[in-house]
Amino acid sequence: MGAASARRFAAGGDCSIVVDRDAERAESVARSIVDGGGAAVSHHVDVANEESVIELADWLRKEHGAVDVLVNCAGLALREGSVVDMTRKAWDLTIAVNLTGTFLMCRHLVPLMAPGSVVVNVSTSGVLRTVSGTDAYIAAKGGVLALTKAMAVSLADRGVRVNVVCPGVFGTEEVEHRLDDPRVMTMLARTAPVGRGYGEPGEFAATVEFLCSPAASFINAAEITVDGGGSA
C-alpha cells in the first residue's frame, strides 16, 4: 500500500521518497518508479528507532530541503492474541512500530513542512469493528486515530493538515501470506456491500492522493474509512 502510494505520487510528477526497514525492498520500489519514468529515491529507515528517523530528517533537509507530504503507513500486525495471551515483547513492538513510529516520523519531519503541507496517517477499519485476538494492534491503531485528531488541531497554526485513513483488508503480499490466520479470514468473510472482501492497493493510494490534493484543502482531522462498507 505504501508502494502504491509512492507510485501514485510519482505518476503525478512528484518525487517519492520510499522508506522501509528493508533497504532492498525500498530500493526495489524506487527503482521500479524510476524505470517507469518517475522520480523516486529510497532510504533505509526503521520508524520505531528515533536515531534512524533523525538520520532520515537530516538527509531530507540536506538533499531536498522540505517535505510536502508525509504518509505514515508503516505497520506491524503480529499474531499476538488477547491481552492474556500476548507477551510484553509483542505488545511493545506492536506499539513501537504502529503508534510510536507515527509519532517519531511526525516529530522529526513536520518541522520540514511548509504551510499547505499534508500528513496522512494510517489506522485500520478494525478500530470500528474489531476482530478477536488483535488487542495490541487495535490499541496502537486506535492511538493513531486519536493522535491524528490531536495533531490536526495542534498543527493548524503551521498550516499543516492532518487526516487519517482507516483501510480494511487489501490485496497485499502480507495478506496473501496470512490466509491461514483466522483473524484475516474473519475480516475477509465480512463481505462488503460493494461485493468483494478486499480492496486493491491502488484504491488506497487514490484516497491518500486526494487527501493531499488542493481539492481536499478544507478536509482536516478527518477519518476516512476505505473498506467497501465492511465495517458498517
What DSSP element (H or E) covers 212? Answer: none
Alpha carbons 171 and 121: distance in angstroms, whole number: 20
Catalytic residue among 103, 137, 170, 204: 137
Residue tagged 505504501 (cell numbers): 2
β partners of residue 18: 42
Maximum distance among all Cα pairs of the chain, rounded to whole angstroms: 50
β partners of residue 81: 134
| Contact call for residues 162 and 151 (beta carbons, < 8 A) | yes
Residue tagged 531536498 (cell numbers): 64
Residue tagged 510536502 (cell numbers): 68
Of 127, 143, 12, give the one whose Cα is nearest residue 69.
12
The C-alpha cell that represents 223 in the structure block: 477519518
198 is catalytic: no
Q: Could you list the active site residues?
A: 137
